[in-house]
Amino acid sequence: MRAELRAPTPDATAALGAVVAPHLLPGDVVSLAGPLGAGKTRFVQGLAAGLGVEGRVASPTFVLVRRHRGRLPLLHCDAYRLERVGDLVTLDDDVLAPDVVTCVEWGDAVAAALPATRLDVTLTPVAADVAVATAAPVAPRDVLLVAHGSAWADRWPALAADLTAAVTTPDGTEVGA
């Protein structure tokens, strides 16, 4: 279960997060990967908005975990500075809890601590020189979504359809490729 899309702008990246949100169930884990500044937080901001979270969804880079209230509780974690993989679950009792949605930036670094059932989102700046692309305020990202586990099997066709529908925005901007 995988979808490859292209998000030309930060808003397009957030829009993809918003597309994912209505498909999320309690206990879901969304693992985000991609280099510094790839757009992981931007994606989670859109996902949070899609869950009905009000107010600012800031990067958890320094506090390591932020909690938000939406249709489902959202735990937004950053694993970049964790010393040990297992430290993820010590950040907050509700990280990976069965009644919340947990989003983990740099989730690939702590994959061993994540459940096998999860949605992996990988953001890759599109440019020969990634350093230039990540420094630009607006530059395209390739967005790869891969769903793992039978818990996603029933939901995947609808999510894939919604992602495909997001390919063209009303102003004609191409979101997916």
Ligand X SMILES: Nc1ncnc2c1ncn2[C@@H]1O[C@H](COP(=O)(O)OP(=O)(O)OP(=O)(O)O)[C@@H](O)[C@H]1O
Selected binder of ligand X within 1, 59, 67, 176 (CB under 6 A)? 59
Closest CA to 115 of 91, 88, 93: 88
* Residue 107 within binding range of ligand X, rule CB under 6 A: no
Q: Pick from Mg ion, ligand X, none: which does 46 bind, CB < 5 to 8 A by kind?
A: none
Residues lying near Mg ion in the complex (CB under 5 A): 40-41, 59, 105
4-39 exposure pattern, b = at least 16 Cβ within 10 A, e = fewer: ebbbbbbebbbbbbbbbbebbeebbbbbbbbeebbb
Tell me whether residue 33 or residue 100 sits nearer to Mg ion (CB atom).
33
* Residue 137 within binding range of ligand X, rule CB under 6 A: yes
* Residue 53 within binding range of ligand X, rule CB under 6 A: no
- The CB-of-59 to ligand X minimum distance in angstroms stands at 5
Please tell me the distance from the alpha carbon of residue 107 to that of residue 104, in angstroms, as a whole number.
5
In the complex, the residues that contact ligand X under the rule CB under 6 A are: 7-10, 13, 34, 36-42, 59, 61, 105, 136-141
